[in-house]
Every structure is written in structure tokens, then in C-alpha cells.
Amino acid sequence: MSLRFVGRKVVGSILSLTAVIIFNFFLFRIVKSDPVGSLLRGRNVPPDVKARLRHQFGLDKSKLEQFWLYMRQTARGNLGVSIQSGRPVTEDIGNSLWPTIWLVGLSTVLSTIIGLLMGIKSAWQRNSWFDRLSTGASMFTYATPDFFLGILLLAFFAFALKLFPTGGIESPAGSAGGISHLIDQAKHLALPCLTLTIGYMGEYAIVMRSSLLEVMGEDFLKVARARGLRDALVRRRHAVPNAMLPTVTLVTLNLGFVLSGAIAVETVFSWPGLGQLTETAVHNQDFPLLQGLFLIFTAAVILANLVSDLLYGYLDPRVRVG
């Protein structure tokens, strides 16, 4: 892969991120709202205390002064202070980041493996009972909103059968450590992870099936069969690797989108990740925290898009031409 190709993609990603940072500042100031007033709602607070809080958060400055302050702080990795918690935004995001990474990472691995295997088997056994059943199920799960699927699983497995907890990352009176603590966390992780896995594996299965069906009509597979190679060997060595390109790109891009797309699922299951933190920030009109979260989400998408472009260029040399 040429340095020119890589450099072009990296520069494009940096420019996109810069545009997002600038847009990020103005986005949360379009709505005419008073974050300090929202923080102190229902309380009889003297005007001088409100003025002191606005000065503390820099809300008494002009928009231009706030913009330059925001740009300087962001360049240094300082995303401001949360109006609601009073802690640095980076600290609040850091505390909620790992639960989301565990949830999104595990569900992505499971949905990718299951979806690819379903798509490969469906395409190779086209019009079989498995193909019809898996394709129908994939279309259904792909069209079902994540939050609705999560509510169904929560109602059935947590409330009706009482097999899993209703929410959170661990039981309030859970064990301090050891195997029992890990088992308790695994039980809390099961339903939100299952929701995201089911929600995305259908998409991967559909794309993989379509891509493999297209490859199966190519001449090189006929040549491989004519050489006397077994059907399983033709599929494993020739068909599947050439059909993986669209799916690899889709999985890479979804890693960026799922990070922000898990907001609804985390809210349904009260999972203490970035999704629930976003819901809390919106409810409290916490502008600095919302800015930080929006920046993290968009940066994840831009990074995933960059990785996808570089990976696609590595796997398919034709993309690097031009």
C-alpha cells in the first residue's frame, strides 16, 4: 500500500474531525437554553450564585470567546467540566467507556461470527430450508429496532422467566470479588449483549450471502471445480475469501456506529456505559458533557471509516489506483 494512498486517507480523516469539532461547538448552542438554570431547577438560588456558576463554566462570555476557549481546550485534550457532576468530562466519559467497550466488543465478535457462518451456509445451500429460514430471520432481526428487541428480551427472560437481572452491570449486594462476582456481571451483560448480537448478525448474514452468491458465478470457481477440488475446499479457499470484502468493510464501519448506536440498548437495560451517560446528559442539558460524547462518537465513526478504507485498499489493490 503506497504512502500516498495512506496519507490521503489520513489527511481526509483529520479534516473531517476538525470540521466535526467546530460543528460540535455550535450544535449545542443553537437551542436557547440555560444549563445553569436547568441544574438549579426547583431551587431558590440567589442571582449572585447563578452568576458565579455561569462564570465558572464560562457561560458569561461571548460566543466568540467561548469558541476560542473551547478550541484551545479541545486541542489540549481538555473537554471541560460537567455541569451536573462537577467532574472533568474526560473523567465521566472514561468511567463509562469500558462498560460500553465490553458490551459492544463482545456483541460485535458474536454477531460477526454467527452472521458470517449463516450467510456462507445460506449462499452455498441456496433455496434450501436453511437458506429460507435464516434469510427470513435475518430480514426480521435487521428490520427490528434494537430498543424494541431489548424490551422483548427483557420482558421474557427477566420479568417472565426471571432468568436474568433487569438491568445494571452488577447486583447491588453482589460479591466483592472472585468467580461469583464475574458470574454476576456476566448475567447482567447477557441480555444487552444478546440484543446487539441479534440486531446486527442479520445484517452481516444478508451481506455475506449476497456477496458469496455473486462470487459463486465467477469463472475461477468453475476452474477450481474442474481441477477436481472438493466442494468444501473450493468454498473455503476460493469463494469465501473473495466474498469477504464487503462484509469486512461493513463490520469495521459498524464498530464506529455501534458505539453510539448502543444508546437505546444501554438505556433499556440501565447499562452504565456511554449510552446511559448520553441519556443523562440530554436530560440535564449538560452541554460540556454532550459535546464530549458527541466528539467521541463522531471520532469513533471517522476512525472506523479510516480503518475500513485502509483495510479495503490493502485487500483490494484496485481501490488504491487513482
| Those residues with Cβ within 8 angstroms of residue 39's Cβ, 6 or more apart along the chain or in another chain | 53, 83, 84, 284
pLDDT at 175: 55
Domain membership of residue 65 (yes or no) is no
- pTM of the predicted model, to two decimals? 0.81
Q: What is the CATH number of the domain that holds 126?
A: 1.10.3720.10
Distance of CA 156 to the CA centre of its chain: 25
Distance CA 267, CA 277 (A): 9
Look at 256 and 147; give whichever has higher pLDDT. 147
Domain membership of residue 50 (yes or no) is no
Number of domains in the chain: 1
- Sign of the CA dihedral with 82 first, then 83, 85, and 87 last: positive
Residue 38: is it exposed, middle or buried by C-beta count within 10 angstroms (0-12/13-18/19+)?
middle
Residue with cell 473473495: 242
Q: Is the pLDDT of residue 179 over 80?
A: yes
Look at 298 and 312; give whichever has higher pLDDT. 298
Nearest to 22 by CA among 322, 294, 303: 294
Chain-wide mean pLDDT for the chain? 82
- Sign of the CA dihedral with 74 first, then 56, 93, and 148 last: negative
Distances (CA, A) of 93 to 18, 90, 179, 262: 20, 5, 28, 15
Confidence band (pLDDT; 50, 70, 90) for 68? confident
Look at 164 and 45; give whichever has higher pLDDT. 164
Distance CA 234, CA 224 (A): 7
Distances (CA, A) of 17 to 49, 79, 137, 249, 293: 37, 15, 38, 20, 14
- Sign of the CA dihedral with 143 first, then 148, 153, and 156 last: negative
Distance CA 128, CA 122 (A): 8
Distance CA 222, CA 49 (A): 79
Domain membership of residue 25 (yes or no) is no
Domain membership of residue 28 (yes or no) is no
Domain membership of residue 5 (yes or no) is no
Nearest to 292 by CA among 272, 313, 277: 277
Q: Is the pLDDT of residue 25 over 70?
A: yes
Distance CA 108, CA 265 (A): 14
Q: What angle do CA 98, 100, 102 make, to 5 degrees?
A: 70
How many residues are present in the chain? 322
Say how many Å lie between the first and final Cα of the chain, rounded.
13
Residue with cell 426547583: 42
The tens digit of pLDDT for each residue in 195-207 reads 999 988 999 999 9
Domain membership of residue 42 (yes or no) is no
CB 201 within 8 A of CB 195: no
Helix-then-strand count for the chain, H and E: 14, 0
Domain membership of residue 63 (yes or no) is no
The tens digit of pLDDT for each residue in 194-250 reads 999 998 899 999 998 988 888 877 777 767 767 766 767 777 777 777 777 788 888
Q: Is the pLDDT of residue 31 over 60?
A: no
Domain membership of residue 106 (yes or no) is yes
**Structural domain harbouring 316:** 89-320
Nearest to 120 by CA among 106, 137, 136, 134: 134
